[in-house]
Structure 1
Amino acid sequence: MARQQKSDATEPSPTAIDGLGEGRHLRPGSKPAPGLYLVATPIGNMGDITYRAVEVLRAADLVACEDTRVSGKLMTRLGLDRPLSSYHEHNSERAGPELIKRLKDGAVIALISDAGTPLVSDPGYRLVKACVAEGIMVTALPGASAMLTALQLSALPNDRFLFAGFLPNKSTARRKALREVATVPATLMFYESPNRLGESLADMAAVLGPRQAAVARELTKLHEEVARGDLFTLANRYADAPPKGEVVVVVAPPGEALPLGEEDLDDRLRAAIAGGASVKDAAALVAAETGFPRRDIYARALRLSQAAPDSTP
């Protein structure tokens, strides 16, 4: 009898990996604890769904998703049949309180996005914030993420990075947003529409200069592609040839001091000012790109501005 008890105690969990411990595992027919489950779904390859994600989706009372048509196809491919409820940017104020009410009544709700990890560029954080305020249990099931996958494949520094989501649609607003992050000492990451990719890369080149970058698309799918090069080269590549599929743009952080001559510095300053930057912002951008002291670059930009009456310091 003692030997039998010892055997049961040391039997490995189906979800355990040697040396990595165990997570919460649902036994057949069991029910998860009531609460909100943030479930990552595949970004392309269906093989990237996790065992735990399938278990929770199978046991959920409700699956909240961005688009019920997209998520319905996912559930069908997984052989699952659970109620779906739409929760997205345009209905979150109405749908959120309804989900909170069901959660407070003891429901198990899984929140998923159309693809990847929920709460990345979607309104799910509002629901999480409301759950926390109400004392409702929230947990996350990690999985696929286009952002992190692109960072891994970019061959750019990944010790520090800033995910900036989607840039504005219009060039003026886009360049303003880029100037706000231009001096951040980290790799920059953006989601972008394939139809705007060429214009967006051109604005990045004008504001950020010839930094190294990577354009990752169709990640984990059959036609996965990662194009690498400086921003000017990538902007030319996609200027008249918008790609297909979801796109992530990864841009290197500001570099070390470069062996540039005075004419090169002046050209960069003129380009920044022509792109709409003030003298102060242009100097900050070029200083960040080249590693030269900001004070010296500002003095140079000021001289250029005084020689061009239309420029504003």
Structure 2
Amino acid sequence: MQDTALYVVATPIGNLQDMTPRAVDVLNQVAVIAAEDTRHSARLMAHFNIKTPLISVHEHNERQRVERILQYLSQGESVALISDAGTPVISDPGFVLVRAVREAGFRVVPVPGCVAFVTALCASGLPSDRFSFEGFPPAKSQARQQFYRERETLPHTLVFYESPHRILASLTDMAEVFGPQRRAAVARELTKTFETIHCAPLAELLDWMAADSNQQRGEFVLMVEGAVPKPADQLDDEALRVLDILLAELSVKQSSALAAQITGIKKKLLYQAALERS
């Protein structure tokens, strides 16, 4: 092992054969492994005969653990950071620790491997030239719908994580906000025995999942195709809403001019729409 460092080590998301030889070497050589759940990770360590001590670093104690890990590093001992599955920091604890270690002047070394959303996206059949990972949506329906509305016009593929007890509610909100015909994909139990990746319009996807309770179990990645850009001569709902508000108080000419300033849309297009709506 080279210089003292915090090694951010990816672990399998299901299939243990996805563990890389480099990850095993690093976990064997560091002084201590910072694990999200030591009991869960102990099984992985036993499988690969890794004897390195484990300490817990999770969302409730991460800030308190920073000083302890910095002490290891200051004494010239390297530390590995792992999560329960996949790559640490990606919708898992670790950001606070990684930033603190870097700010203290120590190296942070990535040891790449599995990431659930990348694994899902590459086999989904949805566009992957541009995408954004959005993490977990809010738990409550009203907040979740607002979360989706803020993203409904984005032109690239959207990727989310979701829990099994909210999967149907989340798909219902997606169909309402994005529209029932927007293509989407759900991936569950990736690399495991019951791996499923299913792509369909949101309404069909919701019906398919609601009809089979077995498909409502496991770890989920939800992916939604980006919005199709509207033609240049077509006004979106928000522009028409602004125009209607202004028309209630102002003339067609004034309304279209002010709406152009607010929305950035050409005045001529807004003026024609205002004539049709007045």
The TM-score bracket by the shorter chain reads: 0.7 to 0.9
1:134-213 aligned at under 5 Å gives the runs 134-209=104-179, 210-213=181-184
1:31-42 aligned at under 5 Å gives the runs 31-42=1-12
The number of residue pairs the alignment matches comes to: 243
1:47-196 aligned at under 5 Å gives the runs 47-196=17-166
Q: Give the deviation of 1:135 after TM superposition.
A: 0.5
CA 1:107–1:226: 2 relative to 1, 3 Å: same
Q: Is the 8 A contact 1:64 1:84 kept in 2?
A: yes
Q: Is the 8 A contact 2:36 2:93 kept in 1?
A: no
Q: Give the deviation of 1:292 after TM superposition.
A: 6.8
Q: Give the deviation of 1:237 after TM superposition.
A: 2.5
1:17-64 deviations in Å (ceiling 9; x for gaps): xxxxxxxxxxxxxx4421100101011111111111000001111000
Residue aligned with 2:235, SS: helix
Residue 247 of structure 2 corresponds to residue 297 of structure 1? no
1:214-248 deviations in Å (ceiling 9; x for gaps): 10011111111111101111122233636221110
**TM-score (normalizing by structure 1):** 0.73
Residue 244 of structure 1 corresponds to: 217
2:64 partner letter? R
1:234-313 aligned at under 5 Å gives the runs 234-239=205-210, 241=213, 243-256=216-229, 291=231, 295=235, 297-298=237-238, 300-301=240-241
Question: Unpaired runs of 5+ in structure 2?
Answer: 247-278
Percent identity, please: 45
Residue 194 of structure 2 corresponds to residue 223 of structure 1? yes
Q: Is the 8 A contact 1:44 1:221 kept in 2?
A: yes
Deviation >6 Å, runs of 4+: 302-306
- What is the CA–CA distance in structure 1 between the aligned matches of 2:192 and 2:229, rounded to whole Å? 36
Q: Is the 8 A contact 1:32 1:108 kept in 2?
A: no
- What is the CA–CA distance in structure 2 between the aligned matches of 1:197 and 1:136, rounded to whole Å? 40
1:226 partner letter? I
CA 1:239–1:300: 2 relative to 1, 3 Å: farther
* Structure with larger RCO (C-alpha < 8 A, sep 6+): 2
Q: Over aligned residues, Cα RMSD in angstroms?
A: 2.0
